[in-house]
Every structure is written in C-alpha cells, then in structure tokens.
Structure 1
C-alpha cells in the first residue's frame, strides 16, 4: 500500500476543487478504513437500522441478514467511487463534468449540494437533542449551535483534520459499540428478543434497500477523501479499505439499533431504547455518539461547500478558490443551517429529510453513469484541463448520451419508488418495498454504455487531449 508523497502537509487544507498536484499528495490508504468505519458509528445509522424490526417487523435474524446484504451490495458502488480519487486528484462532483459536460453536470451538483445541506441541518438538530439529553440544562437550540460550530471548525480545517479525528474515533467508537453490544446482550429486558417479528419479503427487501441506499448516499463525495492520496496507490487498495471500513461500520450501527429496540419494550424511540438498554454505560454511549455526530457532520458541510464552489466555478471558470474562500462559504452555510434548524419545527426538519430521500432517486442513475464512464469507457483516463474549462473542453457543455441515459434512469425508477412524497404502483403492490435503486442501476448502466460507445464523436474524445492517468 502506498504511503504519503509528503509528510509536511498543512493542517488547514489549501485546495478546494482544484487538481491536487503530486507534490501535495499525502496520507496513507489505510486512513480510508478509519474514516468510513468511525464516521458510520453514529445515531443516524443506528436509528435507520432499527427500522427493519420497528417498521418492517422483521425478527432479529432476518433483520441482520437484510442489513448485511444491503451494506455489502451498496458498499461496492460507494467504494468504486472512492477508488477514483487518487487517479483523478479532484472532487467527485466536478469530475461529473467529464460525463455530463460543464453545464450538463449542474443539476447533479445542485442535487448533491442540497442533499448535504439537508443532512447537515438534520444532524445538528440531532446533535442539539443529544446534548440536551446528556445535559438537561443545555437547551436544544444551544445544543444545535454548539453542534454546528464543532462540525464547522472541523470542516473548515478540512481533509487532514477529518482523517485524524476518524483515526481516533475508530478506536474509541469501535470499542464503545462492542462494549455496548456486550452490555445489551447480557441485560435483555424482553422475553421476545429473538421471536418478535418474522420474515416477510417486502420488509426484508425494504431493509436491504435502506442499507444499500445508505452506502449510495456517500457516492457523490466519497472520493473527495481519497483524492489527496498519491496517484500510484493501487485501485484495489483504495477500494478494499473504503469498502471494509464503510460496510463494517455501517453494519455494526444498523445491527446495534435493531438489537437495542428488541432488547427493550415495544414502542420506544430508538435512542431512548439505546439509553435504556445500555443502562449504566448509557450516558457514556450518548456522549460518544454526540461526538460522532459532530465529527461526521463535518463531511456534510465539507461536501456542501465543495458543491457550491463547483456551481459558482462553472460560470466563473478562472476562479479556483483558496482556503479562505472555502472558510467564508462554510460559515455562510453553517449560519443559514443554524437559523433554519433553530427556527424551524421538528416537522419541518422531518419534511426536509423526506425531500433528501427523494433526491437519492436521482443520484442512482448518476452513480451508474459515473462508474460505467470511469471504469468501462475511459478506463480512468481524463483530460483534467478540459474539466475546468468553461466550454467543457473535449467534453463540451452537454453530453447528450449521458443526459438521455440519466433521464431514462430516473423515469424507470418511478413505479418502484417508496418515498415519503410518492409511492409507486409496483412498490405499493409489494407492500412498500423500494426497489427503485436496483432498477435504476440495471437500466442506466448498459444504456449509457451503449449510447456512449456507439457515438463516434464521443469515441474520438477518448483519445483527445492530455490524459490525467490510467487504471
């Protein structure tokens, strides 16, 4: 596994969306394991994992099987995106210009930015409530501001600090969740721990989808955290460290949520169940999860800021912002989210998260197009200079093949969707199971490959310009 090209990288990240040159590459590929393992041991995946037994009424065994299947499948897509980082040396969203064109990529970048902002705002609300639960004298609004400031400081410092915190967090949170499992399994408070719920195909498929979509939600920014690694880091090493870290950390959190709610009386809120089930160590567990929320939420702020910078740079193409610009934009986003989170009702934030879940439907075809283009068509070779040109260089302002495949990829998912805003007829027929992401991937991938490779003009672009590198 390759190590850093330089050992004196600055603490505060100086690059934003620009290409990271070889002399500024640093870090070790194993850092990707700790980043995605530590970042996924947090309240939000715990609450999500509990839905398999709470909402879909699976028993523990079938709930765990569904969770593992979903994360193992979805993690493949997420890790394939991560492996692009060292090869390209640029953020994931700006790389989308190579598939969609300089203007064609704007929609996807905007959607990703909105998703990050939604997750950031929701997580600071969760942080505020968690802090209030630990220290009653701290009002929720004050906790929201404290959580936002903590995430903001981490996000502004940037890439290197995020990795350092997650190296520490992996050990602390990893040990904490293992101890938590041990306590719960030796202090079960219910008689139906193993028998509550049963297997049902719709609930099982819905839980698989929840886990898979959890992984896919990272796809638009996962390579942002591998792009500083030296270009000679093997693709396989980047893939496996990311895959194992994310799949293992997420699976542990999902299963922890399921175990906690089954070990406590029916009807309890998941985090209340965690606090009750972990008994004497409950307050410590909540403190650890609170710190995890603050640390992990920095990734959402970081991703939102890079997406906003990408949007602006599309029109101000001579501008490659500095660390100061990134800090200013981070503060603006942070203040806006604090204002919305403190002033809005819980229902408003809930509806905002519902909208974010709908946005995932339009990210699935993007994932398919990006991966097919990178691995099957361009084979990791891109003209970095063209990506930063206002007219898209050899990639143009629009790529009709990508946009057509993208539109069809969204359309075919509609009958299979099950979101808070819309339930498709097929999903309704199979008791609410959401298979839209599977259909989106299966249709978009071959369709885009066929459209792109049959176009002679597109094939000529594969060999044009100075190539960035290869697989």
Structure 2
C-alpha cells in the first residue's frame, strides 16, 4: 500500500536493515515537528514539576535549571540524530561498529528495557488522562485504549508517526500556549513566585533531569532521521532535531512547574494541570491524551527494533519484515498492559527510578558512539560488516570500547544517586546526581586515546574508509 503523494509505502517495510537511497523519502523539517510535538506530553510535564515539588526550587530557579539541562543534553541527542542520514541504519545496529557484534548486545538490551519502561509509563498516563476526561472510564480501560492506539501507529511505522507529529506540533503548540496564558491569569496561590527558593543540590538535580531526558532519546533518535537523503548535511539534521526537542521539552517541563505552583501544594501534577487550566482543563487533558498515544508509538517502535537487533545477532540469516515487527509489537504491547495495570498506582515513580539507573550505563555508550562517529571514523563505516554475525572488520568484541565503557561506568559510582545506591559525592551535595556529566567527561577522551593508539583498530578504520 502506498500513498498518492509519494511512492513511499504507508506501512513501513524496513526494520533494522539499511535504507537504500530510493527509499529515502524523509524531509528535514519533519525532525523538528517529530521531537517538538512528541515532547509536549504528560510524562515531561510530570517530570518538570519535580524541580519545584521534590527539589523545592522556586519558579525562576526551576525554569533556569530546566532550560540549562535541556540545552546541554539536547546537544548530545541531536548529534546522534545527525548520524541517521549518513548511515541509513538504526542507532543500536550502528553500535556494533564501536563495540563489535556481540559487544553491543548489553547496550541493546538496556535500551530495549528503557523503551519498554517509557511505553508502560506513558500508557498509565494515557489511562489517567482518559479517566480525567471521562470519569466513567476506569484507568485500566484507559491504559488498554492508550496502548492499542500507540500500537497501531507503531506498526504502521515511520511515515505515519511523522504525519501525526506534524499535526500535533501545531495543535499541541497552540494548546500549551493557551494553557500558559490561562494559568498566569488565574493563579490561585499567594506564593506562586516565592514558594521554594534556591539550593545548589536541587538546582543541579533539576539540570540533570533535563539533560538525562534528552540523553534518554539518544539510543533511538537516528532511527527517525535514517530516511533522509544521504546528502542532507549534518548541520541541517542537527539543528532541526535540537530545536524541536529542546523547545518542546522546555515548554512541557516549565508547564508542569507552573501548574503545580499555581495551586496549593500537595496535588498530583496532572490534577493540578486540570484544575489550574480551569475551563480549558478538559481540552488540555484530551490533547495530552492524544499526544501520549502518538508519542508513545516511538517507544514501542524503539523497543521492537531493539528486540529485532538482539534476535538478528544470533539468527543472522533471518530477514525481519513488517510482519515480524507487527507480531513483536503486539507481544510487547500485551506485556506492558499487564504490567501497567498491575502497578499503575505508583508506576511513574518506579519508572523514573529505573531510567535514572539505566542512564548510568547509557551515558558512556553515548560518549563512545559520538567520539567514534565524529572524531575517529568521521562517518565512514562498512555497512556490510555491521550486519555480519562475526562483525566483519569490527569483530565480535572491541576491547578498547568495552574497556572505556567499563571505566565510564565505574567513575560515575561516587556521583550516583539512584534508589539502589547513593555515592559519597552525591550524598555530600545533598543528593544531586552528577554522574552523567562525569561519565561523559571521562569516557570520551579515554575512548579516543585507546582507539587511536590501537594499530588493529586503525587498520579497521582504513578498511572501512576504503
């Protein structure tokens, strides 16, 4: 089935394979709308409210921290996006060029778990949003409705996801501006600007939340730029992604902070959004419900590609098709519905804890991937080797990458603040988690030094360029 506007199929036929030039039907502007529209949703609103709810910042310092965090983290996220047109393959498959065909599996599994966590959390929020709009609909029923909506979009794939986000950018953009306007003109508290204050640990923690929100997209952001023609410049891809993602996220995070400060303390964030926006509250919930269903398709899509990558590593003769993607989507969807319904009461809190823990091991991967692509290989890779079971010129394991990766995780431990462990440095600064920053600063130069000193690696680099 194809659309009349182009010869591109409506239902995406590619899974993790290389996208040939004749199928590169994407447009750079679609990256802006994808990441802007996708980030105006309940989950970033709930996360943004934590700066004033949990870390006790006032509105001004909370928004400053939100802006700084997203602008910094968005740099890394957008640099990953710019790899898509150059490579034409998903991000996780491309990681085989740095870690080897088997060495990349750990990161693939971690990314897959994170996507599943995002998907399950978002369907919980979809269920609560639907219940808030139509109280006769129980939250579990809303969860199933949200999951099915996202599932249909995810199965159709790339093209439909972009179409919905082009529409969503205008609708949600106008909606959130109206929401801001209503809240600022109907503030119900006397301490709107003075509740909370400034504390360095809370400010750093809020910056980290913003940065980590952006970095969490890194393992799949280039999946949505790989359909762009190869002659699209790195700069064009970077800026379209960066501006869309940071602007959409900053608006949502700030909206959450504003909504909870406009009402007395103690309210659930989404309840605060509904009450603070008054007459347009139900409309806002409807828009957020549609947004979470649309955006959550990205998480399902990413989870499925991770599973296919994992399976294809061992079943290298298997050629996954659109049907394979549909079947796996259905299996993951059912599993997430069961988990979300069973744990919906405090699912979001557990999910945030999970993401913070997983990002400790994703941050060094980000550093290695970006250094390898931009500083060492400069975008030149042997695509055939990436899909070989033995890794081709990249091998099954790359010792330099794995060593840098292990050290990148280890140096973060004193700076971690997760539900499992709080490091001594984090404890000293009242719980602020700066492990992601330390992981980046140490891993990037270490990997470059190890890789460029290794003669075998330089030979592989030469073979890839040849």
TM-score between the two structures when normalised by the length of structure 1: 0.96
Q: In the TM superposition, what are the counterparts of 1:196-345 in structure 2 within 5 Å?
A: 196-344=195-343
The answer on 1:118 being equivalent to 2:122 is no
Instruction: Give the C-alpha shift of residue 218 in structure 1.
Output: 0.2
Structure 1 gap ranges (5+): 1-5
Write out per-residue CA displacement over residues 234-262 of structure 1, whole angstroms, 9 at most, x where no aligned residue: 10000000000000000000111111111
Alpha-carbon distance in 2 for matches of 1:231, 1:140: 45
Alpha-carbon distance in 1 for matches of 2:14, 2:189: 53
C-alpha contact (below 8 Å) 1:184/1:277 kept by paired residues? yes
C-alpha contact (below 8 Å) 1:27/1:228 kept by paired residues? yes
C-alpha contact (below 8 Å) 2:51/2:57 kept by paired residues? yes
1:109 aligns with 108
The answer on 1:50 being equivalent to 2:30 is no
SS of equivalent to 1:218: coil
CA 1:270–1:419 in structure 2 vs 1: closer, same or farther (change >3 Å)? same
C-alpha contact (below 8 Å) 2:70/2:214 kept by paired residues? yes
CA 1:56–1:131 in structure 2 vs 1: closer, same or farther (change >3 Å)? same
Alpha-carbon distance in 1 for matches of 2:336, 2:44: 21
Structure 2 gap ranges (5+): none
Moved more, 49-58 or 306-315: 49-58
Alpha-carbon distance in 1 for matches of 2:340, 2:277: 29
Alpha-carbon distance in 2 for matches of 1:135, 1:317: 48
1:183 aligns with 182
Alpha-carbon distance in 2 for matches of 1:174, 1:125: 23
The answer on 1:137 being equivalent to 2:105 is no
C-alpha contact (below 8 Å) 2:82/2:222 kept by paired residues? yes
SS of equivalent to 2:462: coil
1:408 aligns with 407
Write out per-residue CA displacement over residues 290-313 of structure 1, whole angstroms, 9 at most, x where no aligned residue: 111111110000000000000000
C-alpha contact (below 8 Å) 1:76/1:243 kept by paired residues? yes
C-alpha contact (below 8 Å) 1:261/1:270 kept by paired residues? yes
Instruction: Give the C-alpha shift of residue 199 in structure 1.
Output: 1.2
CA 1:136–1:244 in structure 2 vs 1: closer, same or farther (change >3 Å)? same
CA 1:345–1:76 in structure 2 vs 1: closer, same or farther (change >3 Å)? closer
Alpha-carbon distance in 2 for matches of 1:58, 1:339: 36
Q: Cα RMSD (Å) of the superposition?
A: 1.2
C-alpha contact (below 8 Å) 1:39/1:166 kept by paired residues? yes
C-alpha contact (below 8 Å) 2:121/2:347 kept by paired residues? no
The answer on 1:194 being equivalent to 2:193 is yes
Instruction: Give the C-alpha shift of residue 458 in structure 1.
Output: 0.1
CA 1:62–1:353 in structure 2 vs 1: closer, same or farther (change >3 Å)? closer
Moved more, 16-25 or 193-202: 193-202
C-alpha contact (below 8 Å) 2:316/2:388 kept by paired residues? yes
Write out per-residue CA displacement over residues 106-147 of structure 1, whole angstroms, 9 at most, x where no aligned residue: 000000001101111111111111111111111111111100
C-alpha contact (below 8 Å) 1:119/1:353 kept by paired residues? no
Alpha-carbon distance in 1 for matches of 2:464, 2:422: 46
1:396 aligns with 395
1:373 aligns with 372
Instruction: Give the C-alpha shift of residue 356 in structure 1.
Output: 3.0
Moved more, 346-355 or 391-400: 346-355
1:63 aligns with 62
CA 1:40–1:352 in structure 2 vs 1: closer, same or farther (change >3 Å)? closer
Alpha-carbon distance in 2 for matches of 1:74, 1:345: 29
C-alpha contact (below 8 Å) 2:380/2:464 kept by paired residues? no
Moved more, 141-150 or 191-200: 191-200
Instruction: Give the C-alpha shift of residue 39 in structure 1.
Output: 0.2
Instruction: Give the C-alpha shift of residue 325 in structure 1.
Output: 0.7
1:385 aligns with 384
CA 1:69–1:119 in structure 2 vs 1: closer, same or farther (change >3 Å)? same
Alpha-carbon distance in 2 for matches of 1:345, 1:126: 9
C-alpha contact (below 8 Å) 1:16/1:320 kept by paired residues? no
SS of equivalent to 1:264: coil
Instruction: Give the C-alpha shift of residue 285 in structure 1.
Output: 0.2
The answer on 1:448 being equivalent to 2:447 is yes
C-alpha contact (below 8 Å) 1:355/1:421 kept by paired residues? no
TM-score between the two structures when normalised by the length of structure 2: 0.98
SS of equivalent to 1:463: helix
Write out per-residue CA displacement over residues 148-198 of structure 1, whole angstroms, 9 at most, x where no aligned residue: 000000000000000000000000000000000000000011111111111
SS of equivalent to 2:463: coil
Instruction: Give the C-alpha shift of residue 343 in structure 1.
Output: 2.9
1:22 aligns with 21
C-alpha contact (below 8 Å) 2:124/2:344 kept by paired residues? no
Alpha-carbon distance in 1 for matches of 2:98, 2:396: 10
